[in-house]
Structure 1
Amino acid sequence: MWLFSVLLPLLRLYLCGIKVLIYQMFNRSFTLPVLPRQNGRVAVVTGGTRGMGYETARHLASLGMHVVIAGNEREEGAAAVRTFQEEGVEGKVEFVFLDLTSLKSVRQFAQAFADRGLPLHVLVNNAGTMMVPERQTEDGFEFHFTLNYLGHFLLTNLLLDTLKRSGRPGRCSRIINMSSATHFAGVVDMEDLNKRICYSSHAAYSQSKLALVLFTYYLQEQLAAGGFPVTVNAVDPGMVDTALYDNLWSLAQAMKKPVAKTLFRTPAEGASISIYAAASSELEGVGACYLYNSHRIQSSDSSYDSELQAELWKKSCELVGIRDSCTSYQSTA
């Protein structure tokens, strides 16, 4: 039983990876179109100090956005801001500390942002981790589930009123959730979201990415029902050569290095889908999409399970200690 619980998620995840690599072998990363200026708009990018988050923040700032990089590495954050300033990006860029594994830190970030009175037009929930050995956060939750999903769930909800006030018809605010093809291998176990019965880092990671897609579709449906000018989309960057793979087993690391040089996307290429979702005219007013290589594709069958979406939403509200605000969304429709 234990072997089955650990081996099956591993095989399913690596099968997803092989499928993505085959696709990337024969298909180039899409080239970003010329995007409209974003002067006067404000974005928050989590995990924006490195990798795809860094590239996303830099590109949005180059379009004239005021970009708030949210991350838990202060030195990296300061270095990123200096680099952007030296490059002469047009928009304002700043770093604000945020530890997504701490619900207290998420609340402090959201409150500090609200106190500034800034609008918020784009929220890119980019930060993530993969294949971390079993560990719990200070709040007692599984690490992947919290960093990849639950922290972003709370952050989004706490910033949602600002997003709704900042959007308008024809110029919606946008929420972008970073998922991956591994969500196809994911199973959201409502009885064991913290994976305490039999821990598998592969299962925990896949579950967190599926949870993000379920969250995307459910939130978009409720916002649309309430008539709010906010769109929510999930993006899939493909396999990208970033530090996300640092926790792979030694053998997998050795096998990954030569493959990454030829088949993996660069961080800039991987970030292009988030940038496209955040700023393209083609996606104005369009939500509930799963975007891969600029295309709207079908996500996993389980991600469209409306009962599972609602159940996960309700449970997530309980876990982070917030009111289920979707009831109020529907009542205003």
Structure 2
Amino acid sequence: MTDWTAADMPDQTGRRVVVTGANTGLGKEAARAFAAKGADVVLACRSVERAEAAKADIEAERPSGSLTVLELDLADLDSVRSFADAFTDEFDDLHVLANNAGVMAIPRRETADGFETQFGVNHLGHFALTGHLLDDLRETGSGDDPARVVTMSSGIHERGRIDFEDLHGERSYDKWDAYAQSKLANLLFAYELDRRLDAADAPVESVAAHPGYAATDLQRRGPEMMGSTLRKLGMRVANAVFAQSAEQGALPFLYAATMPDISGGEYYGPGGFANMRGAPERQRSSKRSYEEGTAYRLWSVSEEGTGVAYELPDARGETASGDAAGAAADD
């Protein structure tokens, strides 16, 4: 695995992949790699204009796969539902759902539904999207070839804690703590989803990945929203000196999405210095990310907050969708 690159991906011909945030950075590089290997890729992006530009750029390389743009704003649950409806109307299969899009270390804002934006976009938006597309995944996957949900986390999840008393930073807000919480939530979700899929004997696997330190537009947005030219310059310098490319940063995500030796509940990241760069390898995430009680509670809160109920039994043998509101209230 030490020399693995996108060229080593298995052929993806005949497979359909949804990549969120595919207009730039890691998402665009993932979409490019999937299409080059023959996949039919749906670029799920908030800005249709930027997504069309990314599509044109990738198509200029004459990939063997196809690319389709569909609008998706993860900061608006109505948009998430509309995307899922449009996808299901147009397509009848889904092999890989790549939950990649995100925002990082931004000033406190709220989504259309009143969630703190980092938690709302990075976790709740993807939670809702996955729930809406779960039937498509289950109908496409098989025992020999399960469909896959791949959720992008970050090494900063190790700093994260799920603050159930102030999930949306209404009492106290630190942009990096909020980002770390959202990235820990991504892992708790990915692992809990896999446990529930396994309990249902569903032909779908849930895995997670992180890119290490990769140079993308993600680092630019926080300083831009703060109006800080100095911090924006600092991020640009740090990216140039320390970061690996977005193409390299996408590799753990691509490995987790495509390689046949993957098992549900696994986590992949760069295997080089401090897990910030290098070829993908299987890794362990933080101790908190494996806390099943926290994951169960977060799942209940997420179902209640988004109104999206998964028809999956939890690891305790109960049907989560029927107990979501009660579990949240009991906590």
Query: Helix, strand or coil for the counterpart of 2:8?
Result: coil
Quote the residue 2:268 is aligned against.
291
CA distance in 1, matches of 2:159, 2:267: 16
What is the TM-score with the length of structure 2 in the denominator?
A: 0.87
Pick aligned residue for 1:311 from 297, 318, 322: 297
Query: Helix, strand or coil for the counterpart of 2:101?
Result: coil
Quote the residue 1:256 is aligned against.
235
Quote the residue 1:23 is aligned against.
none
Structure-2 change in CA distance of 1:323 and 1:281 (3 Å): closer
Larger RCO (CA under 8 A, 6+ residues apart)? 1
**Is 1:39 aligned with 2:8?**
no
Give how far 1:331 is off.
7.0
**Is 1:58 aligned with 2:32?**
yes
Give how far 1:258 is off.
3.1
Q: Which amino acid aligns with 2:58?
A: F
Query: Is contact 2:105–2:175 with CA below 8 Å preserved after alignment?
Result: yes
Deviations 1:68-115 (A, max 9, x none): 000011111111122222211111101100000000000000111112
Give how far 1:254 is off.
3.7
Query: Is contact 1:210–1:303 with CA below 8 Å preserved after alignment?
Result: yes
Query: Helix, strand or coil for the counterpart of 1:138?
Result: coil
CA distance in 2, matches of 1:196, 1:203: 13
Pick aligned residue for 2:161 from 187, 196, 206: 187
Structure-2 change in CA distance of 1:117 and 1:85 (3 Å): closer
Tell me the matched-pair count: 303
Q: Which amino acid aligns with 1:262?
A: V
CA distance in 1, matches of 2:176, 2:229: 15
Give how far 1:322 is off.
2.5
Quote the residue 1:282 is aligned against.
261
Query: Is contact 2:17–2:41 with CA below 8 Å preserved after alignment?
Result: yes
**Is 1:322 aligned with 2:296?**
no
Identity %: 38
**Is 1:102 aligned with 2:88?**
no
**Is 1:150 aligned with 2:124?**
yes
**Which ranges of structure 1 fall in alignment gaps of 5 or more residues?**
1-27
**Which ranges of structure 2 fall in alignment gaps of 5 or more residues?**
271-279, 320-331
Give how far 1:255 is off.
3.5
Quote the residue 2:244 is aligned against.
265
CA distance in 2, matches of 1:168, 1:210: 29
Deviations 1:113-134 (A, max 9, x none): 1122420000000001111111
CA distance in 2, matches of 1:189, 1:223: 26
Q: Which amino acid aligns with 1:288?
A: G
CA distance in 2, matches of 1:297, 1:33: 22
Query: Is contact 1:29–1:265 with CA below 8 Å preserved after alignment?
Result: no
Higher helix fraction (1 or 2): 1
CA distance in 2, matches of 1:128, 1:29: 28
